[in-house]
Amino acid sequence: MTEKTKEIINNQINEEFYSAYLYLAFSAKLEKWGFKGAANWMKIQAQEENDHALGFFRFLLERGEEPELRAIAKPEEASLKNMLDMFSAGLAHEKHITACIGKIYELAREEKDYALESFTKWYIDEQVEEEANAIEIIDKLKLIGDNGSAVYMLDQELKARMYVPSGPYATANTAA
Ligand code: OFO
């Protein structure tokens, strides 16, 4: 594996852990505000991001490389003041992640690293789903506005989300 490839994957491990941090920070804030359902949704998203990081972590190990764990930045977006702004910031962040994954895929093709090319496909598909999920919730929040009982119902809906291990090594993540 080239240095360039190792660097982009190590960076992506950090990006995915930052995503987990971001969603966990949103979860804490939402729970403090009394939105337990939205807090649950965000916490599960954080768990999935952790899995995504572990996917890249494991990929490096399986290719005989040692992952490098770097400092995770403080998520400044956690200072946002309402749920709509948080989900919108989440979507903006996912678009950034989609671009990062695209760059990994491009590099894999450039370097004819077929294993990485194949591995990255899982993340490309996942990003379509992640952006769609965020858009759906943002649309609902816009529709609802400040209608308290509708916000309460949406919060109840978000409470139903359950954690399912996510990532190309989902079943192996517990042992990663
Ligand atoms: Fe939110 O996505 Fe990871 O990869």
| Ligand 1 pocket, mutate which of 126, 128, 129, 169 (most atoms under 8 A from CB) | 126
49 CB within 6 A, ligand 1: yes
Beta strands in 78-152 (DSSP E): none
* Residue 147: HSE in the Cβ half-sphere, 13 Å Cα cutoff: 10
Q: pLDDT at position 169, please?
A: 87
Ligand 1 mean position to 55 CA, how many Å?
11
Closest CA to 19 of 59, 43, 50, 58: 50
- Position 171 pLDDT exceeds 80: no
Domain boundaries, the chain: 3-70+82-159
| Ligand 1 pocket, mutate which of 41, 52, 100, 166 (most atoms under 8 A from CB) | 52
| CATH superfamily for domain 3-70+82-159 | Ferritin, core subunit, four-helix bundle (1.20.1260.10)
51 CB within 6 A, ligand 1: no
Residue holding tokens 């399986």?
Answer: 62
Q: What residue's CA is closest to ligand 1, atom 3?
A: 49
* Rounded distance between C-alpha atoms, residue 90 and residue 136, angstroms: 12
Q: What residue's CA is closest to ligand 1, atom 1?
A: 94
Q: pLDDT at position 176, please?
A: 47
**Nearest ligand 1 atom to alpha carbon 123:** 4
- Rg (Cα) of the chain, in Å, rounded? 17
The 8-class DSSP code of residue 172 comes to: G
Closest CA to 59 of 1, 137, 130, 145: 1
What pLDDT digit, counting tens, does each position of 53-97 carry? 999 999 999 999 999 999 999 999 889 999 999 999 999 999 999
